[in-house]
Structures are given as C-alpha cells and as structure tokens.
C-alpha cells in the first residue's frame, strides 16, 4: 500500500482547525488513506447540556467526544470535524506506519514523544511538516535552533521535516474563510513535494504555495510575534496607523536581517510569501500577542506611577493578561 497515512500530532485549536483541511483532502485525494489520525492528549471534559445549570455537567474523555460528536468541544467548539478524522489517545497507535506527520503542539512536549514516534512510523517513507511557531535555543551556544531541525534530529534516520507557515488564524481556517499558506519543504523528490502540497491545499479555502526555504519560513513564524508586541503597544498608546505602518516596514526588514545572520540558505523572496509579510500583517492586527500587548500598554498608562517597571511586577501583570 503506497497510499499516504496522515497523522496529526496535537489536537488543540490549530491542530483541530488543520484537521478540517486534512480530513477533506484525505477523502478527496486518491493517493491518501481515508482515515486521518489525530493524537489527543487525553483529558476529561464537561459535556454541554441543555438542562438547567443546577444539573451537574456530565464528564467524558476528549477523544471519545471528538469521535462521537466530530467536534473538539474544548479547543474548537462549534466547528464540525470531518468524520474520517479519528482521535486517538495512544501515540503509538496514532503514528503506526504513518507516512506524513503533522506536528502542531507546544514544542516543549516534543522530546519525550520522539522515541515513541520514531519506533512507530513507516520505516522508510515517513516525513514531517511542523506547524509549530517558535524557535529553540542551543544551551551551549545560545544560538537559535529551528524546531523542524530538532524534530529531524530527534527522529533520525534521515527524517526530513518541512514547515507550514502563513497568515492562518485557526478559527478563520476552520470556518472555511479564504486564506493562503506557505509550505516550505524539500524531501528530495518533486513528486513527494507536490503530494505534500496537495494534501494541505484547498483551492477555494486554503491556498498553499510551496517554497524550498524551510529556515526562512519557520523563523518568520516565530519572529513576527515579537513585532506584534510592538504593534499592540502602539495600539494601546493610540499612536495611530502611520506609526504601526512604520513598525511593520522596519519589522519585516529586521526579520529578514535576523534570518540571514543566523540561518543558511534564506531567500529574500520568502519574506513576500504568506509566511512572511502576510503573517506579519494579520498577527499585528488580530493576533493574541498584539491583543495582550495592547492591554498591557493601557494598564501601564492607567498606572502612571513611574517610567520603569519592576521585572517581577511586569511578569505578574503579563501572566494575568494572558490568562
């Protein structure tokens, strides 16, 4: 059987949103197995009830709820998942003979999962795509490290991991609103590269372009969050659209400079793709980091006690805003 077996590692908001795309693609494409497996970190959730508030909510395992209701009621409520997406709480079972791993979970959980993944996937045909937005850092050199590279090293045996980055707000993707994304990968085979692009692509809803610059695309996905903090501060201080436009222009240049200093093979054209400019724009206007930074700036204006802020007090206030 040379069909693709897709496994999504993670089932949060973005993981469940991309599952809507991958489920429909697997059912449509002749080179894919119909079933898409989604590894779920098992937890107990409260079932929604139409009865009075005095009646205690019933509890159930999240994986059972997803498989019976075809909805992730905790992380993506109100959105139906394709019926061929199967939630599996056992990582070994989810990854068994997988040929395409889609990583979409907090990167700090990856190291302990790697041995199970490595022992379960297809021994010769498996590859990966990371949707994780962030960077790691080498403990010795303090230099930035690509998460996709850490995944490749963790699985070993020549495993190749690309990335999918872009202006992709999860809820909008799940609702089928048109957006673009960038698949950065090079699996050493043009047919495999194109197969992978087709698996993520939906012509009307989710348009995917492929590039080879994995480092540039992945670093953009992390760095745009730094610029988004500045955008939030600008909004909180009510400095206006001109100031934010200047931030976006200079921020994009700084992102490009950072990428070319710390990573090899970064291409200038990457920053004009959805993973670059488009993701920066949407994050600086609607992203979570921007929203938190705006609230932070407004609270600081209300406080007005000093021009400086104790680091511990700063961390306490930021944690309060995030939660």
Residues that are catalytic:
224
* Distance of alpha carbon 125 from alpha carbon 120, whole angstroms: 12
Phi, psi dihedral angles at 283 (to 5 degrees): -70, -35
Q: Are strands 36-39 and 85-88 parallel, antiparallel or unpaired?
A: parallel
CA separation for the pair 92, 168 (Å, rounded):
29
Which tokens go with 321? 């805003």
DSSP three-state, residue 76: coil
Which token pair is 232? 């939030």
Number of H helices and E strands in the chain, helices first, is: 12, 12
Burial (Cβ within 10 Å: 0-12, 13-18, ≥19) of residue 89: middle
Q: Which of 278, 170, 284, 270 is nearest to 226 (CA)?
A: 284
H helix or E strand, kind and range, residue 218: helix 214-236
Closest CA to 161 of 187, 138, 181: 187
DSSP-based three-state secondary structure for 46: strand
Residue 210 CA to residue 207 CA, distance in Å, equals 10
Nearest alpha carbon to residue 227 among 298, 295, 173, 276: 276
- 33 Cβ contact partners less than 8 Å away, ≥ 6 residues apart: 1, 3, 4, 5, 6, 26
| Angle between the N-to-C axes of helices 311-322 and 288-303, in degrees from 0 to 180, rounded to the nearest 10 | 130
- Angstrom distance (rounded) from CA 86 to CA 289: 32
């Amino acid at each position: 059987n040379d069909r693709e077996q897709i496994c999504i590692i993670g089932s949060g908001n973005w993981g469940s949103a991309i599952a809507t795309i991958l489920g429909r693609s697997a059912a449509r494409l002749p080179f894919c197995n119909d079933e898409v497996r989604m590894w779920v970190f098992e937890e107990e959730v409260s079932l929604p009830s139409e009865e009075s508030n005095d009646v205690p909510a019933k509890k159930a395992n999240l994986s059972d709820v997803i498989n019976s209701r075809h909805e992730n009621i905790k992380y993506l409520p109100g959105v139906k998942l394709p019926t061929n997406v199967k939630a599996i709480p056992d990582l070994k079972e989810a990854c068994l003979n997988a040929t395409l791993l889609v990583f979409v979970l907090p990167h700090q959980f990856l190291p302990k999962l790697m041995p199970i993944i490595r022992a379960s996937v297809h021994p010769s045909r498996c590859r990966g795509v990371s949707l994780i937005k962030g960077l790691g850092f080498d403990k010795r050199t303090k230099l930035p490290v690509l998460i996709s590279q850490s995944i490749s090293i963790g699985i070993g045996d020549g495993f190749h991991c690309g990335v999918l980055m872009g202006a992709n707000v999860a809820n909008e993707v799940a609702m089928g609103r048109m957006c673009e994304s960038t698949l950065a990968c090079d699996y050493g085979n043009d047919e495999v590269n194109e197969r992978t692009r087709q698996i993520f692509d939906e012509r009307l809803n989710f348009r995917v372009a492929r590039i080879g610059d994995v480092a540039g695309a992945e670093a953009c996905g992390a760095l745009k969050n730094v610029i988004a903090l500045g955008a939030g501060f600008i909004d909180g201080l009510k400095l206006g659209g001109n100031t934010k436009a200047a931030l976006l222009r200079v921020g994009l240049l700084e992102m490009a400079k950072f990428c070319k200093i710390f990573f090899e093979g970064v291409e200038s054209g990457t920053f004009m793709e959805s993973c670059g400019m488009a993701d920066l724009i949407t994050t600086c206007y609607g992203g979570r980091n921007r929203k938190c930074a705006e609230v932070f700036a407004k609270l600081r204006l209300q406080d007005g006690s000093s021009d400086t802020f104790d680091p511990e007090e700063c961390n306490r206030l930021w944690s309060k805003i995030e939660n």
